[in-house]
Amino acid sequence: AFDVELARSAMTLHVPAGKTILETMRDNGLTVASSCEQGACGTCLTGVIEGEVDHQDVYLNKTEKASNTCIMTCVSRAKGERLVLDI
């Protein structure tokens, strides 16, 4: 489990082990676009401002993953205790 701070929405959400960031955002009333929800299509791409991403998708390439500047919120998670997203 980890926390996600949504910089533009001025909200911090707790993401439990069994839920995705995308699900957690929806549970909290946010409207977020998605399609495949399997880390393949790119629809849920979100900017990362702070924190290290545990990439679980097959959409971003190696370089993009290493840049730690974006995340697919339908499958990927935080490596640490907190992420700050540009949403």
Contacting residues toward ligand FES, per CB under 6 A: 34-37, 39-44, 57, 59, 72, 74
Q: What is the dihedral of CA 13, 19, 22, 23, to 10 degrees?
A: -90
Nearer to ligand FES, 2 or 59 (CB): 59
Q: Determine contact, residues 67/27, Cβ cutoff 8 Å.
A: no
* CB of residue 33 to ligand FES, shortest distance in Å: 8
* CB of residue 9 to ligand FES, shortest distance in Å: 18
Nearer to ligand FES, 39 or 51 (CB): 39
Beta strand 45-50 pairing with 70-72: antiparallel
β-bridge mates for residue 13, sequence order: 4
Nearer to ligand FES, 9 or 34 (CB): 34
